[in-house]
Structure 1
Amino acid sequence: MCIQIGSHTLSAPVVVAPMSGVTDRPFRRLARRLGAPLVVTEMIASHAVLRDVLEETRKAEIDAEDTPAVVQIAGWEPEVMAEAARMMADRGADAIDINMGCPAKKVVNRYAGSALMRDEVLAGRIMEAVVGAVDLPVTLKMRLGWDADNRNAPELARIAETSGIRLITVHGRTRCQMYTGTADWSGIRAVVDTVSLPVVANGDVVDIATARACLAESGADGVMIGRGCYGRPWLPAQVAAALNGETPRPDPDARERRDILAEHLDAMLSHYGVQSGIRNARKHIGWYTEGLAGSAAFRQRVNNTTEPSVVFAEIDRFFADFGSDGKSGNENAGRIAA
């Protein structure tokens, strides 16, 4: 299996989802270094891009190694979305992804994200405007629909194909489900059967087994991994290897995990500055250590300081309690592999 995005062929049909506050430049760089075939940027608000808001423009910073660089934009006005796409193309994007899947209230209340699935005419105008604005492949991310009574993903997929969209990603939940329940992978098959475009399935892919099950049930061409990457930036590479018929690398042991976490924290401090870097890193530190013996007390200590040297020292001290196999001497210790 392979997925083509413009002139770029992915090494495996595995994509890391665009996740606000997660797939920033430090995370993308780390995940790519560990072997992820593709990591999409955080969702970027089109209006904020046109106003040159630093918080949004920083999300679009692209590394030379970040290839193909897929930038996701969100909004509700075709002309604004088109101009934002042009700006992202000028900044080095290899492809533009349109967000019609975000379920967050602050997004849908402005009639963006998954709210656009309720207005197929406007959704089509946005797609046509963005496709016409850039000489780049444009992709779409959406959900199964707004709610259980309005699962119109196949209809929107037809519009997308007619509009010139080159690839569609479908999260196997409706907007009203948010992230509750389980993803309906079989529901994605209706999109696969409707269009000739590549379709990527998203939702509840958390390991190799669920990736394979998702592909089998959905009939999709690839998988997108979201929350399963929390604290596990090595997971996409493991899934990619397995789907390519290779032997995946094992989960990192305690020392390797400590080194990855330290690398990630250092990159965040460089990217955001000390104070913002420490604050933004706290959730990642929690994910890397979740379920391990003593992690609650460790996180409390880390969350009560803004001094990087203290945080690095706490990380060293925490992982020193674990052997090379990732287990501590405490028989009640949690497991390293999430």
Structure 2
Amino acid sequence: MEGLFGKYRALLAPMAGVSDIAFRTLCREAGADMAFTEMVSAKGLSFANEKTRHLLALAEGEEVVAVQLFGHEPAVMASQAAWIEQEMGESLAYLDINMGCPARKIVSKGDGSALMRDPDLAAAIVRAVKAAVAHPVTVKFRRGWGLGDETAPAFARCMEEAGADAVTVHGRFAEQLYRGSADWGVIARVRAAVSVPVVGNGDIRSGADAAAMAAATGCDGVMIARGAEGNPWLFSQVQAALAGQPEPALPTVDERIAMARRHAELLTHREGRNIVRMRKHAMWYLAGLPGAAAARGRINYCTTLDDFDRVFDELLEIAHGARSL
């Protein structure tokens, strides 16, 4: 696993409704070493849910992908991990177990970060999955469950003892959700507590952030989530900073709109005419551009590539007009 994280330094996080084929394609082209699918429900897979299985599809040219499972039943997690491995074969880089998602609909079922409150069950899940698959198994978790109650270093040791090949640490407590700032110090404390590779996660919004996290924590890789929304270029900045090179220039208005347009085209190719899920991506790409605030209402009614193209064209005209003044 040391070799794996020597190769995969900058990772795109598994984000529900975000890390689909289109977005993974753009982030990989921009420099992401590894991308996760959207997080996958083990229970959904166990019901042979086609909507859930659809999440495991690879993008064109995507040789390998990482998959994150969530659930709380060791036997179900193990059986579905084995099914994923059988179905994906060498296209699977490794399996991650979600013990960090703080969303109410996840933790209310005992999944995600709720498992940090039951380390014995969490360890049982890791042991069961490890016994069921040959690929590496990793675990992603948070600083702790309750605000101010840091349990991550002890939890990491427990996961390592259960057989985890690596861990990823998000620097917020579950009760924080995404409020406040991530504490990178806990990543360093986890790094000191275990011998397996450690990936840091939380508040990476520039290449400089990634380099600072790596320097401060000794982490073996960085995982990027919200910072990449509407900003696939972040991975090229991260790669440059980690290599000690100057970061590429920030994208121009034309480049941002061109990327949004290509994202919509990729979604159309994959999903057909109705690309409602592009609305949130469009707003992320266009945030702060001249005319973007007024365009937000129109974006909320876009459903097809042509709808989005009209908005993008209008914003280009506004931007070019502003430059000519």
TM-score by length of 1: 0.90
The match for 1:49 is 45
Instruction: Say which of 299, 309, 312 aligns to 2:296.
Output: 299
Any conservation in 1 of the 2:172–2:182 contact (CA below 8 Å)?
yes
1:97 match? 96
Among candidates 80, 87, 94, match of residue 83 of structure 2: 87
* Aligned position for 1:221: 220
Deviation at 1:83, TM superposition (A): 1.3
* Map 1:67-86 → 2, pairs under 5 A: 67-86=63-82
Q: What one-letter code is carried by the residue in structure 2 that aligns with 1:320?
A: E
User: How far apart, CA to CA, are the structure 2 residues paired with 1:65 and 1:132?
Assistant: 31
CA deviations 1:189-245 (Å, max 9, x no partner) are 111101011111111111122222222332322211111111001111211122112
Q: What does residue 36 of structure 2 align with? A: 40
SS at match of 1:274: coil
Classify 1:228/1:62 alpha carbon distance in 2 versus 1 (closer, same or farther; 3 Å).
same
The answer as to whether partners of 1:262 and 1:312 remain within 8 angstroms in 2 is yes
Deviations 1:267-310 (A, max 9, x none): 112222222x2x10000000000011210221212222334313
Deviation (angstroms), 1:150: 3.2
- Structure 2 residue aligned with 1:266: 265
Matches within 5 A, 1:36-185: 36-63=32-59, 65-92=61-88, 93-185=92-184
- Contact kept, 8 Å, 2:230 with 2:285, in 1: the verdict is yes
SS of 2:176's partner is coil
Q: Does 1:207 align with 2:189?
A: no
CA contact (8 A) 2:153 2:186 kept: no
Q: Which amino acid aligns with 1:237?
A: S
How many equivalent pairs are there? 322
- Within the alignment, does 1:280 sit opposite 2:268 as a pair? no
Aligned 8 A contact 2:230 2:284 in 1? yes
Q: Quick one: distance in 1 between partners of 2:286 and 2:114?
A: 35
Rounded to whole Å, the distance in 1 between the matches of 2:304 and 2:96 is: 37
Structure 2 equivalent of residue 334 of structure 1: none
Match of residue 313 from structure 1: 310
> Counterparts of 1:148 and 1:311 in 2: how far apart (Å)?
41
In 1, the alpha carbon distance for the partners of 2:322 and 2:140 equals 42
Checking the alignment, whether the CA contact within 8 Å between 1:37 and 1:237 is kept in structure 2 is: no
Q: Which runs of 5+ in 2 are unaligned?
A: none
Distance 2:206 2:284 in 1: 16
RMSD after superposition: 2.0
Q: Give the partner amino acid of 2:7.
A: L
Which has the larger helix fraction? 2
- Post-superposition Cα deviations, 1:114-165, rounded to whole Å, max 9, x if no partner, equal 0000001000000011111111011111001101353211122112212221
One-letter identity of the residue aligned with 2:202: G
- Displaced runs of 4 or more, over 4 A: none
Describe the shift of the 1:16–1:255 C-alpha distance in structure 2 as closer, same or farther (beyond 3 A). Answer: same
Q: Deviations over 1:62-109 (max 9, x none)?
A: 236334411000000001101111121123222101000000000000
Q: Is the 8 A contact 1:35 1:237 kept in 2?
A: yes
Would the aligned equivalents of 2:148 and 2:173 in 1 still touch at CA under 8 Å?
no
Give aligned-pair identity as a percent.
39
- What is the distance in 2 between the residues matched to 1:220 and 1:164? 19
1:15 counterpart = 2:11 = yes
Maintained 8 Å contact 1:238/1:248: yes
Query: Whole-Å Cα distance in 1 between the matches of residues 61 and 87 of structure 2?
Result: 14
Find the residue that maps to 2:319 and give its secondary structure. Answer: coil
TM-score by length of 2: 0.93
Which residue of 1, 21, 29 corresponds with 1:25? 21
Are the counterparts in 2 of residues 127 and 165 from structure 1 also a CA contact under 8 Å?
A: yes
SS in 1 for 2:314: helix
